[in-house]
Structure 1
């Protein structure tokens, strides 16, 4: 067989792998939304996807890995947006801007595999399972970390960079960790996430502005810090 004749075959196999992967993810989302994450098993996911558990294991090592894969896919998009930002932006603002850009494109249907419907399902499943929410909070993307390091002109293990990643993870959890239904007068999905993230980042910026205004033993100054009576 010549190299030219092998190329279409390799492309076909890769497309088949991507389809199977997408079917497994959809099956996991469907089952976990219907019966809960804890009650869903790998065997059930494989059955709904019409593959064997052994085939499932070729794509995902665990049940949780299906959902972490969604975060990895999202992170690739986030990293690409970070690389478009100008130098001089801090890590938290860079992450905010990149997330807003990706969510805006998702709402407009401009990202394959990350539609508004997929965002809704993912939010509902992850935020309904403590184990998944904890996993999402602890998730660190090498792609995003590398993109931030390049933007900031530092090494990927720079302490300021790592602090920015940790703080932003906490912001995302605080802003969106309760989103399982429509709320705040808005439909559950990317646009609601954008509003929540912007609000949370504004609040964190306000908290930062209040730091170091007092010294030990001193009474905070200003009307925002009333004395105890």
Structure 2
């Protein structure tokens, strides 16, 4: 006998996901064309031909839909980190989890995912309300990352600051790498991966040369 209930549930979930994706795409297109402040929720739902009530089933408001892609990437990263082998060193686990996410995005043409991500990143940085929300999300992400590193190492993050320090180091390298990637002409994931690798090499050099000599272990 066919599992008709299960099939119906699967169909509903796929429809919900398609609706959510359509709302995100419509919102981003409007934000990038008109600006965040000039775009209304009514315009977003009209573009997808759904009701405001449907919109609010998925998102609390414009701010949340504007940050939807960034939050998706964060979710992918946390999942990748949680599933890294237990015997990996913490920084290795962080770097390889990040690489997994970049591979999942894959190489895209100049007007593909990388281009969209970069344009939205610039919009967020240029829109005070979105920048503030993005910074709050980044702080929460760092806390969750530090908590996961502490769990892997059998530490209490409230008593051991090393997970938080390591996560801050990781995000510093990624932030500098993202800025450099955004300044270039080619916005593909492979290029970003090369920039990240080079940035880590520079960080390793920095931590061992005269810029930091004697300071990291000063009594």
Which TM-score applies when normalising by structure 1? 0.72
**Structure 1 residues 45-194: aligned runs within 5 Å:** 45-82=44-81, 83-90=83-90, 92-107=91-106, 117-130=112-125, 131=128, 132-138=130-136, 139=138, 140-141=140-141, 144-145=145-146, 147-155=148-156, 158-177=160-179, 179-180=181-182, 183=184, 187-194=186-193
Q: When the two structures are aligned, how many residues end up with a matched partner?
A: 203
1:6 aligns with 2:16: no
1:22 aligns with 2:35: no
CA-based RMSD: 3.1
Indicate the structure (1 or 2) with the bigger Cα radius of gyration: 1
> Which structure 1 segments of 5+ residues have no match?
110-115, 216-229
What secondary structure, in the 3-state scheme, does the structure 1 residue paired with 2:207 have? helix
Residue 113 of structure 1: aligned partner: none
Cα distance in 1 for partners of 2:20, 2:98 equals 24
> Which structure 2 segments of 5+ residues have no match?
none
- Structure with bigger helix share is 2
Cα distance in 1 for partners of 2:202, 2:135 equals 19
Cα distance in 1 for partners of 2:157, 2:9 equals 34
Residue 197 of structure 2: aligned partner: 198
